Amino acid sequence: MPTSTGSDRTEDLAEAVREAAEARRPLAIKGLGSKAFYGRSIRGTELDVSGHAGVIDYEPSELVITARAGTPLADIEALLAERSQMLAFEPPDLGDGGSLGGMVASGLAGPRRPFAGAVRDFVLGVRVLDGRGQALRFGGTVFKNVAGFDAFRLMAGALGCLGVLLEVSLRVSPRPEHEVSLAFEEDWKASRARLAEIWGAPTPLSGAFHDGERLHLRFSGAETAVRRTAERLGGDPSPPSHWEDVRHMRLPIFRAPRLWRLSLPRTGEPAPLPGEQAIDWAGSQRWLSTAAPAETIRDAARAAGGHASLFCGAQPGEEVFEPLPAPLFALHRRVKRALDPAGVFNPGRMYEGL
């Protein structure tokens, strides 16, 4: 069984949570810190999970890997690559490399997301510390499992507000046999029409990104399906490395000091917004570098059937995520209280008062 460096720090972490809960002292959970900018800024005693690391089990024929939350994502991906497997949702590496726990907590996914699924679709189970410092196991290591509420899926994208992730079991995927990348020099309007046509047929599309001047498409899967689709569509060859730049947010637009992320229905087209834009996920995810007021951007996203979040560059105290309707926010607070009664886990990181 493969192991990577690291050790089991469950007891230390549990003790720290119990002490914090008793004193009602907020904790700021930290993995490798690569996404510290993401979400609202909070104050709290740092709870460093990075020492709680190591791959616990990896069985390629089961398509599942289980590792401690502090394990560097790069270690996991290297291990999977040795067996021609991968994380199909393509989590981004934002800088010096993140941890498994941070990946799940942020819920961020790369260009393959609309075609392969979100982080939550691949989380099979977690071991998590609740707000009383108890280690709880939700889900497991098998794909089909409906025993108990799916509290493990709830941890994906919860920004650490519901518990301290200790271990995560992920479903992994075989690497596609073939992959082809194409580029089309055209505006987004032309690309929209092209994508609408592709979308209706069973094509092996695995990436659709428009950088403002060009549409980049990626196709993955069995050889004939990929080759025939590419032949039919024409276009120019595009370097596969482009997708790494999209995935890990290394293109110039991602260096914007204040970057918005719009999450929209694929068929929804927002009113034009000022600033520089890149469009991923075939139109469902848009990155916008702009100094326009937050309300203008949120209104445009809402009108198109989606929502906007201030991915980076928020001022202290500024809301990052779309505000929730009052009944839904009240339910969020009750859900948080169910797992974190003393309110110690990352309070305010997602919303003020949560």
Partner 1 sequence: MLGVFDETLDAAFPVYDRESLIARLKAALPDDGLLAAPEALRVYECDGLAAYRAVPAFVALPRTSEEVRGVLLACRDLKVPVVARGAGTGLSGGALPFPGCVLLSLSRMDKILKLDPQARTARVQPGVRNLAISEAAEPHGLFYAPDPSSQAACSLGGNIAENAGGVHCLKYGLTVNNIAALEIVTLDGEVMELGGEALDTPGFDLMALMTGSEGLLGVVTEATVRLLPRPACAKALLAAFADVRHAGEAVARLIAAGIVPAGLEMMDQLAIQAAETYCQAGYPTDAKAILICELDGEQADIAHELLTVAAHFREAGAYDVRVSRDEAERLRFWAGRKAAFPAMGRLAPDYYCMDGTIPRGRLADVLEEIGRLSAEHHLPVANVFHAGDGNLHPLILYDAAREGQLERSEALGGAILELCVAAGGTITGEHGVGREKINQMCVQFSDAELAAFAALKAAFDPAGLLNPGKAVPTLARCAEFGAMHVHRGGLRFAHLDRL
Interaction of residue 302 with partner 1, rule CB under 8 A? no
Interaction of residue 136 with partner 1, rule CB under 8 A? yes
Contact 256, 313 (CB under 8 A): yes
Question: To the nearest whole angstrom, how small is the minimum distance from the Cβ of residue 228 to partner 1?
Answer: 7
Residues within window 246-285 making contact with partner 1, judged by CB under 8 A? 263-268, 281, 284-285
Considering the complex, state which of residue 50 and residue 284 has its C-beta at the smaller distance from partner 1.
Answer: 284
Interaction of residue 327 with partner 1, rule CB under 8 A? yes
Considering the complex, state which of residue 33 and residue 60 has its C-beta at the smaller distance from partner 1.
Answer: 60
Question: To the nearest whole angstrom, how small is the minimum distance from the Cβ of residue 117 to partner 1?
Answer: 6
Put residue 329 in one of left, alpha, beta given phi > 0 → left and psi -120 to 50 → alpha. Answer: alpha
How big is the chain by its Cα radius of gyration, in Å?
A: 21
Among 34, 85, 220, 346, indicate the residue that binds partner 1 (CB under 8 A).
85
- Number of chain residues interacting with partner 1 (CB under 8 A): 87
| Tokens encoding 194 | 């092209």
Interaction of residue 223 with partner 1, rule CB under 8 A? yes
Among 30, 52, 120, 242, indicate the residue that binds partner 1 (CB under 8 A).
120
Considering the complex, state which of residue 37 and residue 143 has its C-beta at the smaller distance from partner 1.
Answer: 143
Q: Which residues of 251-269 are buried (b: 16+ CB within 10 A; e: fewer)?
A: eebbebebbbbbbbebeee
Distance (Å, whole) CA 63 – CA 80: 10
Among 13, 309, 345, 347, indicate the residue that binds partner 1 (CB under 8 A).
309
Interaction of residue 2 with partner 1, rule CB under 8 A? no
Residues within window 201-220 making contact with partner 1, judged by CB under 8 A? 201-203
Written as one string, the DSSP assignment of 290-346 is --S-HHHHHHHHHHTTSEEEEEE-PPTT---SPPPPHHHHHHHHHHHHHH-TT--BS
Residues within window 44-63 making contact with partner 1, judged by CB under 8 A? 57, 59-63
**C-alpha separations of 60 from 79, 85, 309 in Å:** 10, 8, 36
Considering the complex, state which of residue 113 and residue 218 has its C-beta at the smaller distance from partner 1.
Answer: 113
Contact 249, 278 (CB under 8 A): no
Contact 229, 219 (CB under 8 A): yes
Considering the complex, state which of residue 183 and residue 298 has its C-beta at the smaller distance from partner 1.
Answer: 298
Among 97, 275, 305, 313, indicate the residue that binds partner 1 (CB under 8 A).
305
Among 130, 277, 279, 349, indicate the residue that binds partner 1 (CB under 8 A).
130
Distance (Å, whole) CA 183 – CA 208: 10
Considering the complex, state which of residue 6 and residue 306 has its C-beta at the smaller distance from partner 1.
Answer: 306
Among 134, 232, 252, 274, indicate the residue that binds partner 1 (CB under 8 A).
134
Written as one string, the DSSP assignment of 136-148 is EEEE-SSS---SS
Distance (Å, whole) CA 279 – CA 6: 39
Residues within window 146-175 making contact with partner 1, judged by CB under 8 A? 146-151, 153-154, 156-158, 161-162, 173-175
Strands (E) in 54-121, as ranges, are 55-59, 64-68, 85-86
Interaction of residue 91 with partner 1, rule CB under 8 A? no
Distance (Å, whole) CA 259 – CA 287: 7
Question: To the nearest whole angstrom, how small is the minimum distance from the Cβ of residue 96 to partner 1?
Answer: 25
- Name the one residue in this structure whose structure tokens are 């989590």: 91
Interaction of residue 221 with partner 1, rule CB under 8 A? yes
Among 7, 81, 143, 274, indicate the residue that binds partner 1 (CB under 8 A).
143
